[in-house]
Structure 1
Amino acid sequence: MHGGYRTGSGRKTLSNKKNPVTIYLDDSEKEMVENSPLPLSTNFSQKCRELIWIGLNQLTKELNQNSNEIKYIDLFCGLGGIRLGFEQALREKGLVGKCVFSSDIKPAALKAYKNYFNEDAKCDITKVQISNIPNFDFLLAGFPCQAFSQAGLGMGFQDTRGTLFFDVAKILMEKKPLGFVLENVEGLVNHDKGKTFKVIVNTLEELGYSVATKVLNGKDFGLAQSRNRIYFIGYRGKKVKDLENFTQTHSVLKDIIDYNIPAKHTFFTKKLLEHYKVEELYGKAIKDKRGGDNNIHSWDIGIKGEITQEQRGLLEILLRQRRNKKWADLIGIKWMDGMPLTEEMISSFYSHENLHEMLIDLVDKGYLVYEYPKQLIGNRRVPDTTLKKGYNIVTGKLSFEFSKVLSPDDVSPTLVATDVQKLAVPVRDGIRTLTIDEGLKLFGYPEDYHLDFLKKSEAFDVLGNTVCVPVIKAVSERLLDTYLEEK
């Protein structure tokens, strides 16, 4: 740009003769140009031109940078696993992510999120004003599964009222982002005879999104855990990529076990290893209410006291018979999975002259309990004191220090908050519980993610409800492929 300036009504005018553009500068603006600290020409017009080009270049840089920036929100964020997977996918695609809003209410999860991301996610999404949520491109959410009271009626947005998914849907409706990544438990697919799943998909489509869904297992994405979950991705205004034909990678438990952490030596593990070699424990469940080759019972290791071979045989038969539906009619109750049987009933399938003494001894040692049958009242089982007492197996799978010993050559079962602390891993000199860091590795969290500042019970509780990071990365890449094609 070249030209001159002239005084007119207290303003300065700069014109370009080739491209007629007039810039009006007041006295203070003219002073700013002339006093600029940048190394500029002495001619005023040239100074203006150079400053304009500097500004345009900076604006171009910012626009180019912003064109690669993806803004997203992280709802029901928990430990931030969906965010981590989505960010990994962004980097893979040469994009830059920026989380502009996150939300959760669980104290332990909030502590972990703050510790890793240095962001406070404390927010009840059911109470937030949607207008206060910054604009964003993608919504991430691992929303809880709830039944829809009106499911099966309109099968759309209105059917979701009163659920946490409704809050997700409202945000999508009002903010109209480009797309979303959602994760939920596998059971959502068949929840309420499939109505819940149908309402969710129909609602997302009603809101203008092309939707792809798939149940995927973490063990197919390089994790040493079998964890099936349902994943949803959606994109507005363009058919979203499907969730088929992912490249599979695999690992096993020994790939993540820290063998430098020693075994746990307790009365329980001592009794267990008195009767079994460590290798013989691989894949074994330790519980008293089921039979089968893969189960170890408390009487097999004498944890409550040694018993005779005859008593062991009695317990094995009683395990099966107490589930036999014919006894429910004779007792006068609705069938339940494990009913107390009277001595008379037991004698019909196990005849022994000392049966009474054997049963009393098993009660005294704690392998059996002498109790009333239970009636089903509402959703509860209540003892019926009008009926005869019978003998029943005492303890279930969570009654012992360990509920299962995992095989190092296999993947772990699905980790859930209720029993993750009861899972044992074999190490050089015995067995011990999974560590928190091993648990994080089973979900694919990065090496620098730690939960050691939480109580162990808190850490495993939030772990049992988190997501498989590599699966989130894989499904997010499909979503971002759709975005980049449109771009």
Structure 2
Amino acid sequence: MTKQIVSFFAGAGGLDLGFEQAGFHVAWANEYDKDIWATYEKNHPKTTLVTRSITNIDADEVPECDGIIGGPPCQSWSEAGAQRGIEDKRGQLFFDFIRILEAKKPKFFLAENVSGMQHARHADALNNIKKMFKDAGYDLYSQMMNAVDYGAAQDRKRVIFIGFRSDLNIKYTFPEPIEKEERKALKDILLDLDGNAVPALEKQKPNPDVKVLNHEYMIGGFSSMFMSRNRVRTWDEPSFTIQAGGRHAPIHPSAPRMEKVETDKFKFVEGHENKYRRLTVRECARIQGFPDNFEFVYSNVAAGYKMIGNAVAVPFAKALAVSILEHLHKAKVKQAA
């Protein structure tokens, strides 16, 4: 029988898609950002989407389920952000996630967040969150993981929390990383798209001349922050982390590596300036593991980059979902014996 799960902070549904690929059914999802609703509903037609903030959702509204998954907003924990952590209202959304978890008591949960959450300044808040998960009745397992070790073509470190209801007595072990030689590089997933990219129109509007869905890139200059380090990975390497801001999208691998001028200052190689373009929305989606028929709906390409950059890499999500399913199955067999 298919395991039913619910998803909070669903975004475009990268985490949800990975769980669906593993055999789960996402029956109900919650996403508050109105710029994402059309994309989620188009690509997850069998899921009921609730669009209010989690703070205004009563646990009674959430259907019975086998698991609850989600990635509470990461900006407040991000190394690139202000690192306000639990003091930020977005950081406090973790408490609402736990509130509903405690009320519904599903067999398991998975929560994902940025690696910055483990910064020393957040130690007390992190320990508090871990205690709350345990007090809610769950055996908690957490680990820093890199999506490149689980089939995604990018370096993307995230903290994963997985919990199983204590009465199930499940001793969880995280999935083993794939061998280094099996890791995907940019050539494995982007080469066939080469030559088809089109620039966004003025004011970052979508380009109707795209030959491939969402295969357009943000136009405009590059900030001094962007030029503070090399932003080019070669065809034989995995991508840098795909971020939520289009202006920070990595450069396409056909460009030569940027040249260092001085500390925190790089430049494009002279004579090759025309090769330095940002990765397209579709290229970023491929790097995150979204299939080509997954349509990102937006009126400004910046929204497409944001949805993709905030998502969980699909192959990574699937690997975690498969491991959870295996542990639930073992526990069921053990109980039946």
Q: Secondary structure at the match of 1:246?
A: coil
Deviation at 1:206, TM superposition (A): 1.4
TM-score (normalizing by structure 2):
0.73
Aligned match of 1:94: none
Deviation at 1:427, TM superposition (A): 4.1
Identity of aligned residues (%): 27
Pick the structure with greater CA Rg.
1
Counterpart of 1:111 (choices 27, 38, 61) is 38
- Shift of the 85–108 alpha-carbon distance from structure 1 to 2, 3 Å rule, reads same
Amino acid at match of 1:228: K
Counterpart of 1:406 (choices 226, 233, 248) is 233
Asked if structure 1 preserves the Cα contact closer than 8 Å seen for 2:154 and 2:287, the reply is: yes
Aligned match of 2:300: 455
Counterpart of 2:93 (choices 133, 145, 164) is 164
Aligned match of 1:391: none
Asked if structure 2 preserves the Cα contact closer than 8 Å seen for 1:114 and 1:121, the reply is: no
Q: Secondary structure at the match of 1:126?
A: helix
Unaligned stretches of 5+ residues in structure 2? 77-84, 200-220, 256-273, 333-337
- Shift of the 192–486 alpha-carbon distance from structure 1 to 2, 3 Å rule, reads same
1:79 aligns with 2:12: yes
Counterpart of 2:278 (choices 427, 433, 436) is 433
- Shift of the 193–446 alpha-carbon distance from structure 1 to 2, 3 Å rule, reads same
Query: How far, CA to CA, are the matches of 1:79 and 1:179 in structure 2?
Result: 22
**What's the Cα RMSD here?**
2.8
Q: Secondary structure at the match of 2:56?
A: coil
Query: How far, CA to CA, are the matches of 1:176 and 1:405 in structure 2?
Result: 45
Aligned match of 1:141: 70
- Shift of the 83–398 alpha-carbon distance from structure 1 to 2, 3 Å rule, reads same
Counterpart of 1:241 (choices 150, 161, 172) is 172
Deviation at 1:113, TM superposition (A): 0.2
Aligned match of 1:418: 245
- Shift of the 167–123 alpha-carbon distance from structure 1 to 2, 3 Å rule, reads same
Query: How far, CA to CA, are the matches of 2:198 and 2:43 in structure 1?
Result: 30
Query: How far, CA to CA, are the matches of 2:14 and 2:53 in structure 1?
Result: 19
Deviation at 1:188, TM superposition (A): 1.0
Aligned match of 1:386: none
Deviation at 1:461, TM superposition (A): 1.3
Asked if structure 1 preserves the Cα contact closer than 8 Å seen for 2:20 and 2:26, the reply is: no
Asked if structure 1 preserves the Cα contact closer than 8 Å seen for 2:175 and 2:319, the reply is: no
- Shift of the 191–470 alpha-carbon distance from structure 1 to 2, 3 Å rule, reads farther
Query: How far, CA to CA, are the matches of 2:16 and 2:146 in structure 1?
Result: 19
Unaligned stretches of 5+ residues in structure 1? 1-67, 91-96, 150-159, 265-285, 288-394
Aligned match of 2:264: none
Aligned match of 1:260: 195
Aligned match of 2:55: 126
Deviation at 1:436, TM superposition (A): 1.3
CA deviation string 1:126-178 (max 9, x = no partner): 001211211111001111245345xxxxxxxxxx9981111111111111111
Query: How far, CA to CA, are the matches of 1:254 and 1:454 in structure 2?
Result: 30
TM-score (normalizing by structure 1):
0.52
Amino acid at match of 1:99: V
1:214 aligns with 2:143: yes
Query: How far, CA to CA, are the matches of 2:311 and 2:120 in structure 1?
Result: 20
Counterpart of 2:124 (choices 195, 206, 209) is 195
Query: How far, CA to CA, are the matches of 1:161 and 1:226 in structure 2?
Result: 25
Query: How far, CA to CA, are the matches of 2:319 and 2:304 in structure 1?
Result: 26
- Shift of the 142–262 alpha-carbon distance from structure 1 to 2, 3 Å rule, reads closer
Query: How far, CA to CA, are the matches of 1:463 and 1:165 in structure 2?
Result: 21
Counterpart of 1:101 (choices 21, 28, 34) is 28
